Amino acid sequence: MRKFTLVMFSFGFAGAHLQAPAAVEQPSLSPVQVPIWPAAPPDAQPAPGPETEWTNIVRPTMTVFSPERENTGVAAVVFPGGGFEGLAIKGEGTEICDWLTSKGITCVLLRYRVPSLPYDWHCKCRPDNRTTPTLALEDAQRTMGLVRYHAAEWHVDPHKIGVLGFSAGGYLAAEISTRYAHRLYALVDAADKVSCRPDFAVPVYPGHLWVGGKAYGLNPNVPVNHQTPPTFLVQAEDDNVDGANQSIAYYIALKDAGVPVEMHLYAQGGHGFGLRSSNLPIGHWPMLVEQWLHSIGMLTR
């Protein structure tokens, strides 16, 4: 696992930022961690304890991992899981980035805010009657805009930027796949004027999508429509945390909306397997994601 350092960077605007770069050989660069907000985040909430790399995050950051070999121009923003109470920053973060960069994909690891606003997943409501999703979605929208805004600088094709999330992060991947048209916060700078719609999405053992019942109702905070990006779902049937019904409910909604979707359900794997189930069939999911990215035109070689 590579270490990374915290640096500052400019949020200035230039039209060239949105040009699609050609794939080039580039040296492996040290991962760079940057704050996603130039000042205090919107709707800032106090944390119940001291901030660490993976708990009580009130100052969200993103870490940019450059490809190890030839750059394909594809980028993925990674959302670790943790139940919106913490982040599995290694097994669902840095290890995932090591895999992606080995495939020529730029990885942007987001440390989104946790704990976020309290949410009752049964009534789909919040104590303050807000109808918007979590503070984490504000961070996700901001990060997607920043990656697309800095695409040329980071040797990324602005039309090949997706999201990959695990557990609660898988839910966040579904949220931003359906809530990208309007920022949930007042615009900060030019990066917030750039589209934050992902070009593809990979929710892995996502949670909070199914509202219960035999009809496979979908959480209303994930309003799927035909503009939702192509999606790849993977989950285990013996997932005793969120359960396969989460992916099934989302799959049905995507299919009904005419969104290209591929789903893989495995008998075994449980929850939180990440890249660590090589002894089970579910351990092949990264290879399937790579093949799927070729099939939808993200990877071309």
CATH class of the domain at 27-38+52-295 = alpha beta
Are the CB atoms for 23 and 156 separated by under 8 Å?
no
What pLDDT shows up at residue 29? 55
What pLDDT shows up at residue 278? 73
What pLDDT shows up at residue 115? 81
What pLDDT shows up at residue 229? 98
Give this prediction's pTM. 0.87
What pLDDT shows up at residue 233? 98
Q: Which amino acid is at 150?
A: H
What pLDDT shows up at residue 117? 53
Per-residue pLDDT of the chain (301 residues; tens, 9 = 90+): 444 433 334 343 333 344 444 333 343 457 878 899 999 999 988 888 899 999 999 999 999 999 988 999 999 999 999 998 899 999 999 999 999 999 999 999 999 999 865 544 333 344 443 333 479 999 999 999 999 999 999 999 999 999 999 999 999 999 999 999 999 999 999 999 999 999 999 999 999 999 988 889 999 999 999 999 999 999 999 999 888 999 999 999 999 999 999 999 999 999 999 998 678 999 999 999 999 999 999 999 7
What pLDDT shows up at residue 20? 42
Which residues, 6+ apart, have CB-to-CB distance to 297 below 8 Å?
none
What pLDDT shows up at residue 137? 96
